[in-house]
Amino acid sequence: MADSSAPPTPPETDVVDGTVPSPALQRLWFALERSGWAFLTVVPAHPGAPALEAAMAILEAGAPYVATQKIHLEDATDISPAEAPRRVLALRERVARGERVVAVIDSVLTRPASLPLALAADGVLLCVTLGETDFGAARKTLEFIGSERFVGSVTFPRLKKKGRASSSRKKKP
C-alpha cells in the first residue's frame, strides 16, 4: 500500500511501479470522473492556494485508471490576456487528439486573464486552504466563473510557514 503522505507523481509520468494512490485521492478521481471531463481547470479560491498541488494529486490518482490515455498538466499561472486565447486553442487541440488536460490557473480575483481557461474547460475544481481561504473570496471566484461550471472542491490544510520563529529571533554576536 502506498504511503498517503508521499508527494504526488510528477506530471505526465506513468505509474509503472504499481504504486496505488491513497483512498482519498482515488475517491477524488472517481468523483471527478462522474462529470465526464476531458479538460479540467483547477482554480485557487484565493491567491496562494495550492492549486498546482491539487492538479498533481489528480494526475497521481488517475494514473492507474487511464494507462492508455495521456493526461497533460498545463501550468497556466501567470498567463497574460494576449496569451489566454492561444492557450485555450492549444489545450482544445490536445483534447481533440484524445488527451485529457488538467490546467492550473491563478486566482481569478487577482488575474482575470485566467478566466478564459476556466470558461473553456468541461469543469472547474475549486482549491481551498482551510483556515486561509475567506468565504468572500471563494464566493467571488464562484460568481466570476459561474457556479454551474464547478465539479467540486478540494481542501488543503493550512501550510505552516517555515522559519517564522527562527527569523524573528536575532542572533547575538
* pLDDT > 90? residue 144: yes
CB 58 within 8 A of CB 32: yes
The string of pLDDT tens digits covering residues 41-65 is: 999 999 888 999 999 999 989 988 8
User: Is the pLDDT confidence value at 171 over 70?
Assistant: no
Q: Taking a C-beta distance cutoff of 8 angstroms, is the pair 85, 115 a contact?
A: no
Task: Please tell me the predicted confidence (pLDDT) of residue 2.
Answer: 38
pLDDT at res. 156: 84
Cell triple for 135:
468565504
Does some domain include residue 9? no
| In-domain check, residue 42 | yes
Residue 110 domain-assigned (yes or no): yes
Is the pLDDT reported for residue 74 higher than 90?
Answer: yes
Domain count for the chain: 1
Q: Domain residues for 80?
A: 36-156
Q: Degrees (nearest 5) of the Cα angle 90, 71, 146?
A: 65
In a domain, 99, yes or no: yes
In a domain, 4, yes or no: no
Please report the pLDDT score of residue 121 as a whole number.
97
Does residue 90 contact residue 99 with C-beta atoms inside 8 Å?
no
The predicted model scores a pTM of 0.79
- What CATH code is carried by the domain that includes residue 76? 3.40.50
Tell me the average pLDDT across 148-152. 95
Residue 18 domain-assigned? no
- Report yes or no on 128 lying in a domain: yes
Quick one: pLDDT at residue 18?
Answer: 56
User: Does the pLDDT value for residue 169 go beyond 50?
Assistant: no
pLDDT tens digits for range 1-47: 334 444 443 344 333 445 788 898 899 999 999 999 999 999 999 98
The verdict on residue 132 lying in a domain is: yes
Residue-wise pLDDT tens digits, 87-133: 999 999 999 999 999 999 999 999 999 999 999 999 999 999 888 88
